[in-house]
Amino acid sequence: MKNKVVTSPVDMKERAELGIKAGDTVRVWLKIEEKGKTRLQAFEGLVLARKHGNEAGGTFTVRKVTNGVGVEKIFPLYMPSIDKIEIVKRAKVRRAKLYFIRDKVARELKRVFRRTTMLGISTKGSLELEAERKAAEAEETKRQEEEAARQAEEEAKATAEASTQEGETTDLSAQAGEVVEKTSEAEEETEEEQSEEKKEG
């Protein structure tokens, strides 16, 4: 059997089907390793642009404003350190690149994104995948236990039937022995009667 070649530790098909596009408000959960432990950090903002589509090198740019300061990050779509991606809201925009947003104030942004739809689409995170894996293992273990119990029950039933048949065979043998003994006794009595008749004659 040939070994399966794994090109990426992430589910590329799931992320490609997510359909991130400019105008979406997304929440990206990043895996941060500190002192041997891994924690999740969320980065929520507006998608300004998508580049290279769903190719292996596809990226999307997310912008958020923190304390009046704009922060932008460019995320590779299939980056392994991304635990999951959630699409929080989706707005209808007329451009594929929203770089003009950088020069807009909050009031103008509300006007631009007045046609906004709330969404709850996301990819599966590592915790969800782990929970699904454990549930599948538990179900498989339960199925194996039920199969073992069923086999044990069938074996016990077969053993009981065999012992019953053996008991019936023993009873028949005993009955046959009694018949033989009675026949022998009858023959002996007949012989004795014949011998007595001869003596009397």
Q: For 4-41, how does the pLDDT look when each residue is reduced to its tens digit (9 = 90+)?
A: 555 667 888 889 999 999 999 999 999 999 888 999 99
Whether residues 16 and 108 share a domain: the answer is yes
CA atoms within 13 A on the CB side of 177: 6
Whether residues 22 and 105 share a domain: the answer is yes
> Which pLDDT band holds residue 72 (cuts at 50, 70, 90)?
very high
- Work out the burial of residue 64: count CB atoms within 10 Å of its CB; fewer than 13 is exposed, 13-18 middle, 19 or more buried: middle
Whether residues 112 and 67 share a domain: the answer is yes
What does pTM read for this prediction?
A: 0.56
Return mean pLDDT, the chain: 81
Could you give the residue ranges of the DSSP H alpha helices within the chain? 12-18, 106-112, 126-200
Task: Tell me whether residue 106 is in a domain.
Answer: yes
What is the per-residue pLDDT for 144? 87
How far apart are alpha carbons 27 and 40 in whole angstroms?
A: 12
CATH number at residue 78: 2.30.30.790
> Which pLDDT band holds residue 182 (cuts at 50, 70, 90)?
low
Whether residues 145 and 110 share a domain: the answer is no
Domain-terminating residue out of 124, 149, 168: 124
Q: For 106-129, how does the pLDDT look when each residue is reduced to its tens digit (9 = 90+)?
A: 666 666 666 667 666 777 667 777
Strand, helix or coil at 31?
Answer: strand
Whether residues 42 and 136 share a domain: the answer is no
Whether residues 25 and 87 share a domain: the answer is yes
CA atoms within 13 A on the CB side of 162: 6
> Which pLDDT band holds residue 156 (cuts at 50, 70, 90)?
confident
Whether residues 29 and 56 share a domain: the answer is yes
DSSP label at residue 20: -
What is the extent of the structural domain holding 120?
12-124
- CB 12 within 8 Å of CB 55: no
Whether residues 117 and 133 share a domain: the answer is no
Whether residues 65 and 129 share a domain: the answer is no
What is the per-residue pLDDT for 168? 62
Whether residues 28 and 119 share a domain: the answer is yes
> Which pLDDT band holds residue 46 (cuts at 50, 70, 90)?
very high
Number of compact structural domains in the chain: 2
How far apart are alpha carbons 106 and 112 in whole angstroms?
A: 10
Whether residues 50 and 106 share a domain: the answer is yes
How far apart are alpha carbons 75 and 64 in whole angstroms?
A: 14
Task: Tell me whether residue 94 is in a domain.
Answer: yes
What is the per-residue pLDDT for 160? 79
Strand, helix or coil at 43?
Answer: strand
- CB 45 within 8 Å of CB 63: yes
Q: How much of the chain is helix, strand and coil, in % rounded to 5?
A: 45, 30, 25
What is the per-residue pLDDT for 1? 42
What is the per-residue pLDDT for 110? 64
Domain-terminating residue out of 80, 106, 124: 124
